[in-house]
Amino acid sequence: MRTPARDQRRPSLRRRLLVFLLIPMAVLLMLDALLSYGVALTYANRVHDRGLSDDALMLANMLGNGELGNQLSPQARFLLEYDREGHSYFSVRSSRHGLIAGDGELPLPAKMPVADAVPSLYDTAFDRHTLRAATVRAVAPRDPTDSLIVTVAETLRDRHGQAREILLLSILMQASLIACVLSLVWFGVSRGLRVLDPLTARLAARSHELTPIDAPDVPQEIQPLTRTIDALFGRLRSTLALHDRFIADAAHQLRTPLTGLSLHVDRAIADPRPETMADAFSHIRRLTQRAARTSSQLLALTRAQAAPLDTDEPQLLDLGRLIPDAVSQRVHEAIRAGVDLGYSCSGQPLSILGDASSVLDLLDNLIDNAVRYAGRGSSVTVNLQAQVDGGVCLSVEDNGPGVPPELLPRLSERFFRVAGNNEEGSGLGLAIVQRIVERHHATITYRLGEEHGLRVEVHFPAPIPPVSRQA
């Protein structure tokens, strides 16, 4: 039974979407806050720099017009020095008489401005404070040869305070906007995920159906998932079809030997004479061997039909080594059957991409078919040759009675056996060969021998280098 704790450990698409949106938005908010603070500080500096310049020019004009003389009134000094969060500083210097008023230690700019020019703005430090100062030069009112240097400075607290106020207002507005966006995203994601409800309902309503689930109402973003599921259903249908076919084939092929076994057992029980028992046991042995071979052939056919070779990892096989070893293992069996089994090869490198066990099954079935139906006193030759296109041709040829030309296209059919042949067989050998050939993207050709008999040729394609296959 599903528990709430287990559900909480499961990944949530809604939560993941929200996290993927929330983290970038938080990063963007921080970057925007830094940018907003920089913009606000720049704006505050411009406003205060303009005020400093105006104060310096105003004081210089008042001194230049002779309105203040050489002294500043206490009221004017208070207005110049007043700052609610610190101090404002000023100094008035004469090029001839030195300091007239203000702080004599207030630093001057590195490059002094010319008379009646735009005030020079610069950063400096004084009295353990970082200051922003403006300096202007004016002509002395009573002595044209003298000049007055007026400097007005202030701390940076007011500038930073205004920048923080602007930043706070912008963050509040942007945070509210992000909260609204996240709410809309939450609502949109929740509403958007409801498009999966019809698909979920269709899957829940199914019992044992494996038909495709893709439909026009499936969103485009979900189509790769539904197509993958449909492909899985297709493979399951193929597997189940193979399963059903195997059961049907097994029942069809094993019914005859099992019926014969039952008859001969009843015969041995009914007539216990030694000669009758020996004959019954001989038939029982033959039928048992036939049932065992039929079972192994059915299993081999099922393996050959199970999946294409592309789903596995094909290996580079050297047929020049694999085939001779496999042929040598069948020589003793061919001798007992009175068949001359031989092998010939061009001696060139002969490699293919494939599955070794499947290729050996293919060769075993071809040799078994040739030895079984060629008859005693015949010869079977296994030949391996390189092709012009880089592929390999594997052929098995016998000089037996052969097959009528009109029946050659039917040799790969399951359970097909040429009429008039007295050899027992399941009719599955060449069908297994056909499935293995298809798995290796090869081709198979049946033709009559040079004199008589049957020649089977399997053409394997040239091995493709791994880099080319990935490309």
Mean pLDDT, residues 136-155 taken together: 79
Q: Greater confidence, 95 or 441?
A: 441
Q: What is the pLDDT of residue 273?
A: 82
Instruction: Choose the weakest-confidence range: 90-99, 137-146, 441-450.
Output: 137-146
> What's the DSSP call for residue 127?
T
pLDDT, tens digit (0-9, with 9 covering 90-100), for 359-369: 888 898 899 88
Q: What is the pLDDT of residue 256?
A: 64
Instruction: Give me the DSSP letters along 245-301.
Output: HHHHHHHHHHHHHHHHHHHHHHHHHH---HHHHHHHHHHHHHHHHHHHHHHHHHHHH
Mean pLDDT: which of 72-76, 203-207, 358-362 is highest? Answer: 358-362
Separation of alpha carbons 175 and 72, rounded Å: 51
- Contact between residue 223 and residue 230 where contact means Cβ atoms under 8 Å apart: no
Separation of alpha carbons 78 and 70, rounded Å: 17
pLDDT at position 276 over 60: yes
DSSP H/E element including 460: strand 454-460
pLDDT at position 469 over 50: no
* Angle at CA of residue 460, ends 348 and 343, nearest 5°: 50
pLDDT at position 71 over 90: no
Q: Are strands 443-448 and 379-386 parallel, antiparallel or unpaired?
A: unpaired
177: helix, strand or coil: helix
Separation of alpha carbons 396 and 344, rounded Å: 10
- Is the pTM here over 0.85, yes or no? no
Burial of 204 (0-12, 13-18, 19+ CB in 10 A): exposed
Q: Which of 344, 341, 401 is nearest to 371 (CA)?
A: 341
Q: What is the pLDDT of residue 394?
A: 92
pLDDT, tens digit (0-9, with 9 covering 90-100), for 33-45: 788 888 888 888 8
Task: Please give the domain boundaries of the chain with CATH numbers for all domains.
Answer: 13-205 (no CATH), 210-306 (no CATH), 312-470 (3.30.565.10)
pLDDT, tens digit (0-9, with 9 covering 90-100), for 445-463: 998 877 778 999 999 998 8
Question: What residue type is 211 in one-letter code?
Answer: T
Longest dimension (CA), the chain: 160
CA 26 to chain centre: 28
Q: What is the pLDDT of residue 396?
A: 92
> What's the DSSP call for residue 113?
P
Q: How many CB atoms are closer than 10 A to CB 418?
A: 17
